[in-house]
């Protein structure tokens, strides 16, 4: 008799089950693709779930216009490599108003260029189901999130109106106009994601690996100067430091960490010893105690 | 174990196994503290989170200047304010040997629903007991639910030992009382551990303050417990989830193996059809596999062209599963709207969805005493044993054999909410002995003889709207035209067939079910059947509709405002209802759910009864139900 499955095999099998359930029961799914490591794992799992069929839904990237340049290159190379249908959406109104993280602050920028943009894109393409790479271990308010998370026709998340999820049975029924966010990585932890990337040799953005990069220190955070739009103080000069990123978002809002880890085993070893949480590097989370919950209610995924 | 050993070198990660457990306890038993402590001791809490915890502990905590670990696991803002958790939350931590997923369920009035949800995926239950209070009713309740949901390993964590002076006698008394009680439960292993969760005694390492306890600390137990459900040795079961057909040359069946092992060449059977074929290959992204085992998500191709769809179950040819359409099952109700006998719900089991009617509820279980109480309906958080009637035969296994092929959810057809969850016991043999008798004279022949196509006209509306008057006129007109029709009138049917029914929501559902079945027989007899019933609930009218072929159920909404109906009050019933002498009267203290898309809409403010009958008649003619010569 064969041995029981390892925990990574069980997580993988569960995620594949979730992907297939959506395809079998939902009308118009899309995968929210944020280019980061979780998206990379999610895409890999989706390719596995439907093999030998090609990916049966498009990828949607909500582009704030402020991602790292390497992220854009990586995104396009992946779409090309796997022959994926990639939709890129920007909030045209926000763009015209010149919304940016420096003058408008992280909250306004994230709301207009990310949350509102996402809602606009879902309405435009009439997607009824959107896969997201969020994990329950990321943040406290996510610990109670369902795998199938229901949103009203105005994309609001009501924590009190979520359906109980038993066994591996998912109720995918919804009324016209309502939508579902589906999180195939719900039960994965950050460490699981890294181990799986290593085990499966999944391509990820090189920014995750340590290298010499130009950074400035802002409020105790190391911010990479990725292009000339970054306003610098008179006494601020970018310094080359050996850094890597634990999560990737908009470059002005994503702090780098000092690290020498330039291979996956080194990253995993460093991770295992880590004393700080993954979201510490995200400026948006520091605003208020329950900020994630509020953002989720407004439609952030 | 010391804390250093918990951090393992990365290379051993691949071989880790997964354990899912649930923690049960009420608000003050220290459940959140225990989970917080487990996370802390296994380094699942980072420095920035600890920092936040320290500041929150001062502001919101209940432990003075000490860290309040309970705050670590209370997520949502609304819950913070109430100081309690209100939903199932999942936590993650790991040690060198295992990864753990904890279902953290709160202990207040919504407890049953949440605990059932958390227990559905758990292998082990930790029951928290306050050493000062001993074995309470709620511990018995938790044990019952854990046992019901198939958990076989239980840890009795006797907490707050510091508050009883670390007294061994108190611990042993509680342990013995629990062992005595839990003999009636289906547990294979019960262990009791004295702990002090806030200080970490016996959580990850043995406590010197409890040196009389010779057993393992909690974390050691969780790391080493074997929870083999026997899925690998059980017969092969594969619910087909999705048919993978990218192009004409490939057809695969994707799904997650519920139990057993499969290899290419194995002879298999498709249930419920019973057709046979054999496995050609096990397809995965990494290439074809020589075998696949329980838990894996794979894609199978088969040797022959047989009809296989989502919802079918594949088994080995000589180890087929049973199929059934009527079952006895335990049902847990999870919604404010109570379960009504006779109402139709969607039932999702494995990858199959069927229509299901619950009839009857055999009894409710008093979860405080485990006694069986007679009941006609189940309210939120009730657990009962019921009979289920499905609209199709489904492959299944008893829940005690397979969680995947024996566990199901019920979904409300209108709101789409998940309203209940259940566990199949066995199929009722009844259906197998009653076969549909095929008769030589069929419906088409009978209809043709009457120069018509039979159908049902379902008149719904408030009492006093004029349904019966319209039906009566229409009946007369049809007779004059040489057609055969019959009126089923609400009041008349309640004089005979339904005289045992009252006007509670429950009885109204049954009232409509019977009339729907009778009108179906009449349609089979070739008659144009006029049903004149208030039929206030949308669900039941939809149920009635589902008995008929598309087009032959014609819903007629006889619309009147409540004010007008009440003013007419032909039978004097509104007056009685307003005076409180008539309970559950539609429109007064019982709701009327108006049709959203009736085939025929009659506004009685505009049309007379005669005009309404003519309108229906012209609809019947236009839709081809009256095929005879028209005068």
What confidence tens digit (pLDDT) does each residue in A58-75 have? 999 999 999 999 999 999
What sign for the dihedral angle of Cα A278, A284, A286, A288? negative
Closest CB to A163 among B80, B293, B417: B417
Chain A residues within 8 A of B56 when measuring between CB atoms: 289
What CATH number is given to the structural domain containing B161? 3.40.50.300
Domain boundary among B399, B433, B467: B433
Q: Which of B125-129, B489-493, B581-585 has the highest mean pLDDT?
A: B125-129
**Cβ within 8 Å, pair A195-B10:** yes
Confidence (pLDDT) at A277: 67
Whether B48 shows a pLDDT value over 70: the answer reads yes
- Which pLDDT belongs to residue B53? 74
ipTM computed for the complex = 0.92
Q: Do A163 and B299 lie within an 8 Å CB cutoff?
A: no
Q: Which of B406, B412, B337, B425 is nearest to B378 (CA)?
A: B337
Residue B82 has pLDDT above 60, yes or no: no
Nearest CB neighbour to B297, from listed A7, A13, A274: A13
User: Which pLDDT band holds residue A293 (cuts at 50, 70, 90)?
Assistant: low
* Over residues A99-117, mean pLDDT: 90
User: Is B457 within a domain?
Assistant: yes
Q: What is the pLDDT averaged over residues B155-159? A: 96
Q: Which of A21, A163, A289 sits opposite B418 (nearest CB)?
A: A163
- DSSP state, residue B431: H
Residue B383 covered by a domain: yes
- Which residue in the set B14, B74, B120 is minimally distant from A166, CB to CB? B120
Among candidates B117, B228, B296 on the partner chain, residue whose Cβ is nearest the Cβ of A5: B296
pLDDT at B76: 46
Q: What is the pLDDT of residue B32?
A: 80
Same domain, B81 and B174: yes
With bands split at pLDDT 50, 70 and 90, how would you rate the model's confidence at A275?
low
Claim to verify: residue B290 and residue B407 sit in the same structural domain: no
Shortest alpha-carbon distance between residue A228 and chain B (Å): 32
pLDDT at position B14 over 70: no
Does the distance separating the beta carbons of A12 and B293 come in below 8 Å? no
- pLDDT, residue A114, reads 92
* Chain A residues with CB-CB distance to B351 below 8 A: 21, 24
* Contact (CB<8Å) A16/B417: no
**Low-confidence winner among A257-271, B452-466, B495-509 (lowest mean pLDDT):** B495-509
CA-closest candidate to residue B109, choices B334, B384, B381, B420? B381
Q: Do B404 and A272 touch (CB under 8 A)?
A: no
- Where b means 16+ CB within 10 Å and e means fewer, B413-431 reads beebbbbbbbbbeebeeee
Residue B49 CA to chain centroid, in angstroms? 37
- Residue A45 is predicted with a pLDDT of 98
* Chain B residues inside the 8 Å CB shell of A186: 90
B291 vs A contacts (CB less than 8 Å): 2
Same domain, B597 and B520: yes
List phi, psi (to 5°) of B554: -115, 110
How close are the terminal C-alpha atoms of chain B, in Å? 96
Least confident of B8-17, B207-216, B220-229, B461-470: B8-17
In a mutagenesis test of the A interface, which of B15, B51, B76 is the best target, namely the one with the most A β-carbons within 10 Å?
B76
- Using DSSP, state whether B406 is helix, strand or coil: helix
Domain membership of residue B250 as a residue range: 237-316
CA–CA distance, A133 with A185 (Å, rounded to integer): 6
* CB-closest option in A21, A140, A166 to B407: A166
Between B429 and B224, name the one with better pLDDT: B224
pLDDT bin (cut points 50, 70, 90) of residue B485 is very high
Does A49 contact B at CB distance below 8 Å? yes
Q: Is the pLDDT of residue B478 over 60?
A: yes
- Nearest by CB to residue B75, choosing from A8, A13, A141, is A141
Kindly report the average pLDDT of chain B as a whole number.
88
Sign, Cα dihedral of A257, A263, A268, A269: negative
Quote the pLDDT of residue B11: 42
Report which DSSP code applies to B209.
G
pLDDT on residue B5: 39
- Least CB–CB distance from A51: residue in B233, B284, B349: B284
Q: Rounded CA gap, A244 and A32, in Å?
A: 24
Cα B503 to chain centroid, rounded = 27
Determine which of A105-109, A182-186, B500-504, B609-613 has the lowest per-residue pLDDT on average: B500-504
B466 shares a domain with B330: no
Residue B255 with chain A: CB contacts under 8 Å = 17, 20
Which range has the worst mean pLDDT, A269-278, B291-300, B390-399? A269-278
Cα dihedral A131, A132, A137, A143, rounded to 10, equals -70
Q: Are B553 and B528 in contact (CB under 8 A)?
A: no
Q: Count of A–B CB contacts within 8 Å?
A: 194
B296–A49 CB contact, under 8 Å: no
CA A25 to chain B, closest CA, distance in angstroms equals: 9
How far is B197 from B201, CA to CA, in rounded Å? 6
**Cβ-defined contact of A165 to B94 (cutoff 8 Å):** no
- Domain assignment present for residue B358? The answer is yes
Inter-chain CB proximity B76 and A144 less than 8 Å: yes
Residue B269 and residue B208 share a domain: no
- Residue B86, pLDDT score: 60
User: Confidence class of residue B66 from pLDDT cuts 50, 70 and 90?
Assistant: low
The mean pLDDT value for A110-135 works out to 94
How far is residue B421's CA from residue B120's CA, in Å, rounded to a whole number?
A: 10
Q: For A46, which residue in chain B has the nearest alpha carbon? A: B285
Q: Considering chain A, what is the average pLDDT of its residues?
A: 89
Backbone angles phi, psi at A63, to 5 degrees: -100, 115
Q: How far is A50 from chain B (nearest CA, A)?
A: 7
Tell whether B69 and B179 lie within a shared domain.
Answer: yes
Domain ends where: B224, B252, B269?
A: B224
B56: which 2 tokens?
Answer: 């929150």
The residues in B 314-353 lying below 8 A from A, measured between CB atoms, are 334, 346, 348-349, 351
Report pTM: 0.81
Whether B182 and B244 share a structural domain: no
Nearest CA of chain A to the CA of B224: how many Å?
15
Most A CBs within 10 Å, among B13, B43, B100, B414, to test the A interface = B13
Catalytic residue among B207, B535, B546, B590: B535
Taking Cα atoms as reference points, which of A266, A138, A192 lies closest to residue B94? Answer: A192
pLDDT above 70 coverage of chain B, percent? 91
Check residue B471 and give its pLDDT: 94
Mean pLDDT calculated for residue range B174-201? 93
Which positions in chain A touch B74 (Cβ < 8 Å)? 140
Residue B307 has pLDDT above 80, yes or no: yes
B296/A13 CB distance under 8 A: yes
**Contact present, B439 and B521 (Cβ < 8 Å):** no
Clarify whether residues B217 and B276 are in a common domain: no
pLDDT confidence of residue B530: 95
Tens-place pLDDT, residues B486-532: 999 988 888 888 888 888 877 888 888 899 999 999 998 999 999 99
Asked if residue B399 and residue B345 are part of one domain, the reply reads: yes
* Strand B124-130 relative to strand B17-24, pairing: parallel
Is residue A231's pLDDT more than 60? yes
CATH number of the domain bearing residue B266? 2.40.30.10
If contacts are CB pairs under 8 Å, which of residues 109-148 in chain A contact chain B? 136-137, 140-144
Residue B587 is predicted with a pLDDT of: 85
Q: Is A219 an 8 Å CB contact of chain B?
A: no
**Of residues B223, B305, B210, B165, the one with CA closest to residue B1:** B223
Partner-chain contact A49 B17, CB within 8 Å: no
Instruction: Determine the Cα–Cα distance for residues B390 and B521; give it in Å rounded to an integer.
Output: 20
CB B200 within 8 A of CB B210: no
The answer to whether B92 contacts A167, with C-beta atoms less than 8 Å apart, is no
pLDDT at B7 over 50: no
Same domain, B105 and B203: yes
Q: Report how many domains make up chain B.
A: 4
Cβ distance of A53 and B80 shorter than 8 Å:
no
pLDDT confidence of B163, banded at 50, 70, 90? very high
Do the domain assignments include residue B157?
Answer: yes
Angstroms from B275 CA to nearest CA on chain A: 23
% of chain A at pLDDT higher than 70: 90
Is the CB of A140 less than 8 angstroms away from the CB of B80? Answer: no
Residue B438 maps to a domain: no
Percent of chain B whose predicted confidence (pLDDT) is above 90: 58
Assign B393 to helix, strand or coil: strand
Rg (CA), chain B: 31
**Known catalytic residue at B535:** yes
Are A169 and B56 an interchain contact pair (Cβ–Cβ within 8 Å)? no
Q: Do residues B574 and B471 share a domain?
A: yes
Alpha-carbon dihedral B240, B245, B249, B252, rounded to 10 degrees: -20
Contact B241 A10 (CB under 8 A): no
Q: Which residue of A has its CA nearest to B114?
A: A164
Strands B352-366 and B383-396: antiparallel
Same structural domain for residues B454 and B597?
Answer: yes
For residue B578, pLDDT over 60 is answered with: yes
State the pLDDT at residue A271.
84
Q: Is residue B261 part of a domain?
A: yes
What distances in angstroms separate CA B227 from CA A10, A274, B97, one per listed residue? 15, 31, 15
The SS3 assignment for B149 reads coil
* DSSP per-residue letters across chain A: -PPPPPHHHHHHHHHHHHHHHHHHH-SSEEEE--SSHHHHHHHHHHHHHHTTSPPSS-EEEE--S-B-HHHHHHHHHHHHHHT--EEEE--HHHHHTT--HHHHHHHHHHIIIIIIHHHHHHHHHT-SEEE----GGG-GGGTT--SEEEE-TT----GGGPPP-BTTB------TT-EEEE-TTTT--HHHHHHHHHHHT----GGGS-EEEEEEEETTEEEE--STTS---TT---EEEEEE-SS-SBGGGBEEEE----SHHHHHHHHHT--S-GGGGBGGGGS-TTHHHHHHHHT--
Domain boundary among B224, B248, B269: B224
- Predicted pLDDT at A294: 65
Sign for the pseudo-dihedral over CA of A230, A232, A238, A243 = negative
Q: Does residue B78 carry a pLDDT above 50?
A: no
- How far B92 CA lies from chain A's nearest CA (Å)? 7
The answer to whether residue B230 sits within a structural domain is no
- Cβ-defined contact of B295 to A9 (cutoff 8 Å): yes
pLDDT at residue B253 in the model:
98
Using a CB-CB cut-off of 8 Å, the residues of chain B touching A269 are 9-10
* Closest alpha carbon within chain A to B420: A164
Per-residue pLDDT at A148 exceeds 70: yes
What pLDDT does residue B83 have? 47
Torsion sign across C-alpha atoms B70, B71, B75, B79: positive
Confidence label for B171 from pLDDT (cuts 50, 70 and 90) = very high
Q: Does B229 touch chain A (CB under 8 A)?
A: no
Q: What local confidence, expressed as pLDDT, does residue A181 receive? A: 95
Query: Over the stretch B96-109, which tens digit does the pLDDT of each residue have?
Result: 899 999 998 876 65
Higher-pLDDT residue of B66, B89 = B89
Q: In the β-sheet with B528-532, what is the strand arrangement from edge to edge? A: B485-489, B528-532, B455-460, B553-559, B600-603
Residue B231 lies in a domain: no
CB of B15 within 8 Å of a chain A CB? The answer is: yes
Using the predicted structure, report yes or no on whether residue B119 has a pLDDT greater than 60. Answer: yes
Q: Are residues B351 and A24, on separate chains, in Cβ contact within 8 Å?
A: yes
Residue whose pair of structure tokens reads 């992280």 in the numeric block: A106
The pLDDT of residue A280 is 62
């Amino acid at each position: 008799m064969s041995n029981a499955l390892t925990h990574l095999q069980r997580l993988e099998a569960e995620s594949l089950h979730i992907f297939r359930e959506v395809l079998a029961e939902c009308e118009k799914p899309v995968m929210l693709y944020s280019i980061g490591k979780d998206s990379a794992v999610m895409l890999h799992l989706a390719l596995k779930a439907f093999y030998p069929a090609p990916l049966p839904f498009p990828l949607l990237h909500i582009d704030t216009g402020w991602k790292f340049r390497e992220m854009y290159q990586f995104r396009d190379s992946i779409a090309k490599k796997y022959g994926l249908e990639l939709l890129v959406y920007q909030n045209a109104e926000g763009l015209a108003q010149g919304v940016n993280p420096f003058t408008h602050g992280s909250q306004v920028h994230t709301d207009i260029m990310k949350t509102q943009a996402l809602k606009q894109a879902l309405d435009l393409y009439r997607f009824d189901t959107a896969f997201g790479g969020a994990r329950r271990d990321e943040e406290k308010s996510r610990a109670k999130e369902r795998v199938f998370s229901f949103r009203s026709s105005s994309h609001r998340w009501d924590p009190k109106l979520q359906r109980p999820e038993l066994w591996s049975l998912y109720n995918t029924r919804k009324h016209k106009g309502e939508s579902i966010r589906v999180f195939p990585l719900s039960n994965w932890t950050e460490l699981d994601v890294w181990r799986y990337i290593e085990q499966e040799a999944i391509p990820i953005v090189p920014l995750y690996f340590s290298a010499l990069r130009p950074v400035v220190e802002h409020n105790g955070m190391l911010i990479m100067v990725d292009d000339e739009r970054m306003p610098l103080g008179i006494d601020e000069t970018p310094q080359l430091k050996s850094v890597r990123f634990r999560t990737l978002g908009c470059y002005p809002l994503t702090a780098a960490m000092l690290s020498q880890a330039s291979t996956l085993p080194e990253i995993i070893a460093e991770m295992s010893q880590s004393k700080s949480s993954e979201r510490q590097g995200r400026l948006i989370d520091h605003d208020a105690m329950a900020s994630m919950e509020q953002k989720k209610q407004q439609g952030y995924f | 174990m010391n804390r250093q050993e918990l951090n393992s070198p990365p290379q051993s990660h691949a071989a880790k196994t997964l354990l899912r457990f649930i923690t049960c306890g009420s608000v003050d038993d220290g459940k959140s503290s225990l989970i917080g402590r487990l996370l802390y001791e296994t380094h699942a809490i980072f420095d920035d989170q600890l920092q936040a915890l320290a500041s929150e502990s001062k502001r919101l905590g209940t432990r003075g200047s000490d860290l309040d670990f309970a705050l670590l696991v209370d997520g949502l803002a609304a819950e913070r304010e109430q100081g309690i958790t209100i939903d199932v939350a999942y936590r993650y931590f790991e040690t060198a040997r295992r990864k753990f997923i904890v279902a953290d369920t709160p202990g207040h009035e919504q407890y049953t629903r949440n605990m059932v949800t958390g227990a559905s995926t758990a292998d082990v239950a930790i029951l928290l007991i306050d050493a000062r209070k001993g074995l309470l009713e709620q511990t018995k309740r938790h044990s019952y639910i854990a046992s019901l949901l198939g958990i076989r390993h239980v840890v009795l964590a006797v907490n707050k030992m510091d508050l009883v002076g670390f007294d061994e006698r108190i611990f042993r008394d509680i342990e013995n009382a629990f062992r005595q009680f839990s003999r009636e439960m289906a547990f294979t292993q019960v262990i009791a551990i004295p702990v002090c969760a806030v200080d970490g005694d016996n959580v990850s390492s043995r406590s010197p303050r409890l040196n009389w306890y010779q057993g393992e600390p909690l974390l050691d137990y969780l790391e080493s417990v074997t929870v083999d459900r026997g899925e690998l040795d059980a017969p092969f079961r594969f619910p087909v989830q999705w048919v993978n057909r990218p192009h004409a040359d490939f057809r695969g069946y994707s799904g997650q193996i519920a139990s057993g092992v499969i290899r290419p060449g194995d002879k298999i059977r498709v249930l419920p059809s019973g057709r046979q074929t054999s496995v050609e290959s096990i397809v995965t992204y990494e290439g074809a596999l020589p075998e696949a085992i329980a838990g894996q998500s794979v894609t199978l191709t088969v040797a022959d062209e047989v009809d296989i769809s989502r919802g079918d179950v594949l088994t080995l040819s000589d180890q087929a599963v049973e199929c059934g359409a009527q079952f006895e099952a335990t049902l847990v109700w999870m919604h404010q709207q109570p379960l009504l006998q006779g109402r139709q719900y969607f039932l999702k089991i494995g990858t199959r969805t069927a229509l299901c009617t619950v009839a009857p509820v055999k009894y409710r279980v008093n979860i405080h005493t485990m006694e069986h109480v007679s009941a006609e309906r189940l309210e939120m958080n009730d657990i009962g044993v019921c009979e289920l009637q499905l609209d199709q035969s489904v492959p299944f296994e008893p829940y005690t054999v397979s969680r995947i092929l024996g566990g199901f959810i019920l979904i409300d057809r209108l709101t789409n909410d998940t309203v209940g969850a259940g566990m199949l016991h066995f199929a009722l043999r009844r259906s197998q002995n009653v076969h549909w008798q095929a008769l030589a004279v069929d419906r088409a022949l009978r209809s043709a003889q009457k120069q018509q196509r039979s159908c049902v006209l379902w008149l719904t509306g408030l009492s006093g709207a004029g349904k019966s008057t319209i039906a009566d006129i229409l009946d007369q007109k049809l007779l004059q035209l040489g057609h055969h029709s019959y009126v089923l009138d609400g009041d008349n049917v309640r004089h005979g067939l339904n005289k045992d029914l009252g006007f509670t929501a429950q009885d109204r559902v049954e009232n409509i079910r019977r009339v729907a079945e009778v009108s179906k027989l009449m349609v089979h007899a070739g008659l144009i059947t006029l049903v004149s019933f208030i039929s206030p609930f949308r669900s039941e009218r939809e149920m009635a509709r589902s008995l008929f072929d598309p087009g032959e159920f014609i819903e007629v909404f006889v619309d009147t405002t409540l004010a007008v109906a009440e003013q007419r009050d032909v039978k004097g019933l509104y007056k009685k209802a307003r005076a409180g002498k008539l309970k559950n009267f539609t429109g007064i203290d019982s709701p009327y759910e108006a049709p959203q898309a009736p085939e025929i809409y009659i506004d009685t403010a505009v049309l007379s009864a005669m005009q309404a009958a003519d309108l229906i008649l012209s609809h019947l003619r236009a839709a081809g139900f009256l095929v005879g010569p028209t005068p």
